[in-house]
Amino acid sequence: MFNFQFNPGLSQRTMFNVKNAFYLLLASYFLLLVSCNSTYTSKKKGYFKIDFPERKYQNFQQEGFPYTFEYPAYASIIKDSTYFDSNPENPYWINIDFPQFGGRIFLSYKIVGGKAMYKLKQANGSYRDSAGINKFDNMVNDAFNLTNKNQAITSSIKDSVMHTPNGVTGVFFKVGGNAATAKQFFLSDTSKNFIRGALYFDVTPNADSLRPVQDFLQKDIEHMINTFRWTNAKITAQNSTSSEVNDKLPEAAKSK
């Protein structure tokens, strides 16, 4: 393998250095062979540990608002003032911010049967206003379509009908994969009030890194929904039962 010739003219010290160099080269070659034949073990990807706050809730009840609910004490409510660079169609659109998580729940309220301005996308990418009527069936279909629009990057979409103790009915969506929003829902009495909610994060969607926060906020969203009430209509058993509301939902929602 290696070809060394003894030279009697070399000094004893020189011979010592040559022998050391030979052994060093031999050891390096041996290590190279071992490293090339060893099994590669990948390291698991890790994420920063998140310290979650203690769950505490406070009441949201603003004068004139058609709804009320309880939300986390570690969140803040901000009035939504823009919609595609325009004003929302009514003053009851709000955002629930979670600054420590970089998350936000967008709540958009619509009056069933009321007039609305829709944004229609043009061929050049711009939007134009279009007047319309908020029909319940159309708003439900819009909620399903908004959930399904990122279907190409989702791993699953599960929807389930909800009936709360306060007589509020709606549909909750759980979206798997790297979708922009993994938690969406809408609530309605089908005759007067309709509200849609969606949880977003101010980061590039990554299901693995966001899962702990999403699971934590899932409980808060459930609490918010279970304490949600309409303040401008009596949603009672004798007025609008859960079964009656469910009958007005589309077949896609009732089959889940």
If pLDDT is split at 50, 70 and 90, which confidence band does 5 have? very low
User: Which parts of 59-206 fold into alpha helices (H)?
Assistant: 136-148
Per-residue model confidence (pLDDT) at position 242:
45
Give the predicted TM-score (pTM) of the model: 0.68
Residue 132 maps to a domain: yes
Residue 49 maps to a domain: no
- Other CB atoms closer than 10 Å to residue 146's CB: what's the count? 15
Strands 57-60, 76-79: parallel, antiparallel or unpaired by DSSP?
Answer: unpaired
Quote the mean pLDDT of the chain: 77
Per-residue model confidence (pLDDT) at position 44:
52
Per-residue model confidence (pLDDT) at position 4:
41
pLDDT in tens, 194-222: 999 999 998 776 767 788 898 999 999 99
Residue 14 maps to a domain: no
The phi and psi torsions of 136 (rounded to 5 degrees) equal -55, -50
Half-sphere exposure of 199 (CA within 13 A, CB side): 27
Return all residues near 196 (Cβ < 8 A) that are at least 6 apart: 107, 108, 110, 139, 143, 146, 184, 185, 186
Counting the structural domains of the chain, the total is 1
If pLDDT is split at 50, 70 and 90, which confidence band does 83 have? low
Per-residue model confidence (pLDDT) at position 178:
77
Strand partners, 195: 109, 187
Burial class, 193, CB count within 10 angstroms (exposed 0-12 / middle 13-18 / buried 19+): buried
Residue 7 maps to a domain: no
Highest mean pLDDT among 16-30, 51-65, 83-97, 203-217: 51-65
Structural domain including 235 reads 57-254
Residue 38 maps to a domain: no
pLDDT in tens, 43-58: 555 455 678 999 999 9
User: Which parts of the chain fold into alpha helices (H)?
Assistant: 12-37, 136-148, 207-226, 242-247, 251-254
Strands 183-188, 169-177: parallel, antiparallel or unpaired by DSSP?
Answer: antiparallel
Residue 20 maps to a domain: no
Q: Taking Cα atoms as reference points, which of 221, 232, 106, 243 lies closest to residue 167?
A: 243
Mean pLDDT check: name the lowest of 54-68, 85-99, 178-192.
Answer: 85-99
CA 103 to chain centre: 8
Q: Look at the chain and count its residues.
A: 256
Residue 218 maps to a domain: yes
Q: Is pLDDT larger for residue 130 or for residue 227?
A: 227
Return all residues near 70 (Cβ < 8 A) that are at least 6 apart: 57, 58, 59, 60, 223, 224, 227
**pLDDT(94) > 90:** yes
What average pLDDT does this structure show over 114-137?
78
Per-residue model confidence (pLDDT) at position 238:
31
Per-residue model confidence (pLDDT) at position 36:
55
User: Which parts of 101-195 fold into alpha helices (H)?
Assistant: 136-148
**pLDDT(122) > 50:** yes
Residue 29 maps to a domain: no
- Distance separating the N- and C-terminal Cα atoms of the chain: 73
Half-sphere exposure of 33 (CA within 13 A, CB side): 6
